[in-house]
Amino acid sequence: MCGITGYLGTLPAVSTAINNLKRLEYRGYDSAGVAFISPQGLRVCRAEGRIVNLESAIKNEQAQSSVAIAHTRWATHGVPCEANSHPHRDCAGNVAVVHNGIIENYAQLRQELTARGHSFSSDTDTETLAHLIEEQLANATQPDLVTAVRDALKLVHGSYAVAVLWAGMPDCMVVARHDSPLIIGVGDSEMLIASDITAVMKYTRDVIVLEDGDCALVTREGATICNLNGDRVNRNHLSVDWDDTAAEKGGHAHFMLKEIYEGPRTVRETLRGRLTPEGLVNLNDLGLSAERIAAINRVCLIGCGTAYHAGVVARRFFEQLIRQPVEVHVASEYRYSDPILDENTLVVLISQSGETADTMAALRLARSYNAITLGVVNVIGSSLAREADARLITQAGPEIGVASTKAYLAQLTALTLLGLYLAEQRAPETASLQSEVRRALSSLPEWLEQCVALAPQMDALSAVVAESSGVFFLGRGYDYATALEAALKLKEISYLHAEAYPAGEMKHGPLALVEPGVTVVGLCTQRTTFDKMLSNLKEVSARSGAVVALIPNGQQVPENAEVTIELPKCPDALMPMLTIVPLQLLAYYVALRRGCPIDQPRNLAKSVTVE
């Protein structure tokens, strides 16, 4: 949630920080602001709405500075407005703070600070930090910003990534993190900070990933890192090999459309090097010994939103392959459950960013039971990648659109490889299914290209769906798992009401909602349930709902479907990857027709680092 950038160097700091912030606008976009130190002292400029509004406001400021911090907000405390925008200042206007996360005890701190004479100008939790730092500086015999920030943070409970400027030390910034991501980019006579690696890729590929409890003094010469007690710590540098152009739209109208078109390449890259010439799966870099794998007696799959839906697909696949109990859980519920775990349980945590707060809490809960933890994650230096016992890195590259598309395909691909890898070592009785899926994997990117080529058909279909009063996605087995993700895509970017149901459940209640004006999308890709799906769709037609059917090539076309979309034919276990692509395109084109802000849907942000 929210985006932080900062710059210290020879370039114009304000414009550099704001330009980098544009790459993080997917993390929050209800207000933006920048703080910088000019010859006149500490200056702050803020604006409600998008970053372009901040750029208009800053034109009237004397923005000459070599150091600046900037922020784009996703509201948690206080409505979106200029007063609640970051950066926040202390009473004297000498300290500026930007913050991602939530300070859970802010109300108590605010009450105490007010009683001591502090005056607040916002409704946010973040402003308490500025006043706490102000007090620490005022009470110190020899004021020092690093010490003041450390001591202030010892008083707060919750999550944070913070960057702080102080007029008393004009040639530096101080940053710190706990349960919210923050990185330092190391350049040539310049330093950058950001809450996401994509923000600094134009300037450097050499980054330091801060860990929980780290506090760093950043100067033009480098970064000095310590813990909250002041003890020096060393953090390794990470070399980022992402292509900088991957964070640009590349001629597409929206990041979401670009990322849908990148799906086939993403799957190809995730498969690369993980299939041996003999056709077996090579995940030797997973970090799990053969002995630990042999001891696994149960698998738990955990994720949020799209990542959870990837787990729903994987659950069915894993059970078919390894013939052991497999569970799938929503991370936000799992963290408050009383799980039955032991050292022989494999807990697979799925996250694009590797920083999702609920998923990280589930990871730490699983580790407290000594379970084996494995992160399926897209960001190498993320918290999930560092803290899990094992990791399986997807190769999606930067995903900027809030609605996940190519990262979902990468997760499904990685989970398919993981399922095959486990089955090869412990389930010889499913060798026939394993062989069928492995053979098909090499053709998967080509089939996905054919699915992307359905864009004109989905554009045409969107004209009907955009006028619908509601949309149902129906499926059985793997198709139901895909229906969950398809419904999420449509509602999160087009704001149409959409629901997913197991097709057989419609007659147990939801069928009452089918009437003229309702569109029902039937996913009919599974051989064992195809005939049942045809019957379910006839039930819809009998209630005057409009029927859209997705079927594999060569399959019987449902006679009652107004529109039929034909997909490449492949093993049932891989159909979720093919089926979701035209449905992602459908969501995109519906949102486009409805005039929605596709890459930045209302009330949502990309990396959910708060509970």
**Residues whose CB falls within 8 Å of the CB of residue 282, separated by 6 or more in sequence, listed in order:** 273, 274, 275, 276
The DSSP secondary-structure symbol of 87 reads P
Name which of 187, 166, 146, 184 is nearest 9 in CA terms.
187
Helix or strand run (H / E) with residue 375:
strand 372-377
Beta strand extents in 524-570 (DSSP E only): 546-552, 563-567
CA distance 136 to 366: 38
- Candidate list 2, 215, 226, 524, residue with the active-site label: 2
Name which of 220, 218, 188 is nearest 204 in CA terms.
188
406 as an active site residue: the answer is no
CA distance 32 to 514: 43
**Residues whose CB falls within 8 Å of the CB of residue 328, separated by 6 or more in sequence, listed in order:** 300, 301, 302, 308, 311, 312, 314, 315
- Under a CB-based contact definition with an 8 Å cutoff, are residues 29 and 72 in contact? yes
Taking the CB of residue 602, how many other CB atoms lie within 10 A of it? 11
- Under a CB-based contact definition with an 8 Å cutoff, are residues 270 and 393 in contact? no
- Under a CB-based contact definition with an 8 Å cutoff, are residues 445 and 268 in contact? yes
Beta bridge partners of 605: none
Structure tokens at 519: 């569109």
CA distance 326 to 301: 8
- Candidate list 22, 406, 489, 606, residue with the active-site label: 606
Count of CA atoms in the C-beta half-sphere (13 A) of 181: 34
Structure tokens at 554: 């060569």
- Under a CB-based contact definition with an 8 Å cutoff, are residues 494 and 602 in contact? no
CA distance 373 to 507: 40
Structure tokens at 493: 């970017």
2 as an active site residue: the answer is yes
Is the peptide bond preceding residue 398 cis, with omega within 30 degrees of 0?
A: no
Instruction: Please give the positions annotated as active site.
Output: 2, 606
